């Protein structure tokens, strides 16, 4: 496979096994996938298919047993824990199912948190946090705490926090899992805007077809193998009557 300069994620023959008392348990069976800058990719698969393991490796939270992974052109396999943490902070914004907000901190302080790890000055942190909250429609709520806003708004705060470092890649793991249908649609519309308007690369894990269809491309995992990698429209045609 020719390596395009715009590959944000390039995985080749990635194999992952966990060692248990009963012996090694393979989770990913030599998978290969490339995600280019500006793509919006949904990852689907049943429980135990390996999608969480794949996301953890892509997010530099776990390492592969063998095979290679290049993030933004860097070979991740040879980095130590500190280097992985630095790369994560430079390149990736994370959005999880649980919003992972600090309950006693203001929304603005929650959003600014990744910039503290970067050593960004206080004034700039505050300014960027405000800018990101405006971007996700929460510019009026800077001083609220998480328990003073709705679940959907909390997820918007989490998205603002993911955006504050100006990442090349957002990894979203079941980001609508705790939200009702209407709020889920609002959050997915926001992701679509960030992808379409700002060109941010998004990789999203979901088990819901109506969430996956916001992406352009679908990667489906079964038993640690990629069984489909192509347009969402071809994989989920019966869901396309939803109006946007």
Question: Phi and psi dihedrals of 24, rounded to 5?
Answer: -70, 140
For residue 24, the model assigns a pLDDT of 93
Residue 106 CB contacts under 8 Å (≥ 6 apart), including other chains = 142, 143, 144, 145
Q: How many residues does the chain have?
A: 244
Residue owning tokens 């909250």: 133
Q: What is the DSSP string of 46-99?
A: -TTSSHHHHHHHHTTSS--SEEEEEETTEEGGG--HHHHHHHHHHHEEEE-SS-
How many Å apart are CA 66 and CA 17, to the nearest integer? 9
Structure tokens at 45: 């698969």
Given a cut of 50, the residues of the chain with pLDDT beneath it are 1-5, 240-244
Structure tokens at 14: 């990635």
For residue 189, the model assigns a pLDDT of 94
pLDDT tens for each residue of 151-170 = 999 999 999 999 999 999 99
Average pLDDT value over all residues in the chain: 90
Asked if residues 32 and 54 have their Cβ atoms less than 8 Å apart, the reply is no
For residue 3, the model assigns a pLDDT of 38
For residue 2, the model assigns a pLDDT of 36
Question: Phi and psi dihedrals of 17, rounded to 5?
Answer: -135, 150
For residue 129, the model assigns a pLDDT of 95
How many Å apart are CA 158 and CA 151, to the nearest integer? 11
Tell me the percentage of the chain whose pLDDT exceeds 70.
95
Quote the Cα angle for 100-102-105, to 5°: 150
Helix (H, G, I), strand (E, B), or coil: what is residue 172?
strand
Domains of the chain: 7-239 (3.40.50.300)
| Inter-CA distances, 219 with 142, 157, 213, Å | 37, 27, 12
For residue 238, the model assigns a pLDDT of 59
Closest by Cα among 82, 29, 62, 17 to 227: 29
What sign has the CA pseudo-torsion 226, 224, 191, 92?
Answer: negative
Strand partners, 233: none
How many Å apart are CA 22 and CA 108, to the nearest integer? 47
For residue 159, the model assigns a pLDDT of 93
Strand partners, 222: 225
Strand partners, 174: none
Task: Look at the pTM and tell me if it is higher than 0.75.
Answer: yes
């Amino acid at each position: 496979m020719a390596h395009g300069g715009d590959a944000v994620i390039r995985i080749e023959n990635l194999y992952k096994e966990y060692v248990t008392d009963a012996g090694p348990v393979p989770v990913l069976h030599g998978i290969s996938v490339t995600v280019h800058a500006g793509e919006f990719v949904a990852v689907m698969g049943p429980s135990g298919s390996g999608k969480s393991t794949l996301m953890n490796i892509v997010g530099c939270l776990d390492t592969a047993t063998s095979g290679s992974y290049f993030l933004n052109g860097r070979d991740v396999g040879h980095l130590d824990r500190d280097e992985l943490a630095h790369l994560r902070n430079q390149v990736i914004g994370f959005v999880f199912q649980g919003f992972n907000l600090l309950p006693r901190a203001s929304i603005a302080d929650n959003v600014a948190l990744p910039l503290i790890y970067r050593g960004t000055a206080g004034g700039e942190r505050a300014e960027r946090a405000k800018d990101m909250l405006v971007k996700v429609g929460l510019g009026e709520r800077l001083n609220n705490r998480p328990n003073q806003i709705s679940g959907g708004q909390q997820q918007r705060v989490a998205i603002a926090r993911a955006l504050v470092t100006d990442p090349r890649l957002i990894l979203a793991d079941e980001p609508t899992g705790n939200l009702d249908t209407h709020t889920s649609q609002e959050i997915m519309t926001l992701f679509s805007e960030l992808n379409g308007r700002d060109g941010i690369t998004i990789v999203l894990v979901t088990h819901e077809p109506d969430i996956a269809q916001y992406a352009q491309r679908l990667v489906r995992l079964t038993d640690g193998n990629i069984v489909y990698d192509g347009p969402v429209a071809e994989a989920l045609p019966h869901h396309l009557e939803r109006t946007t």
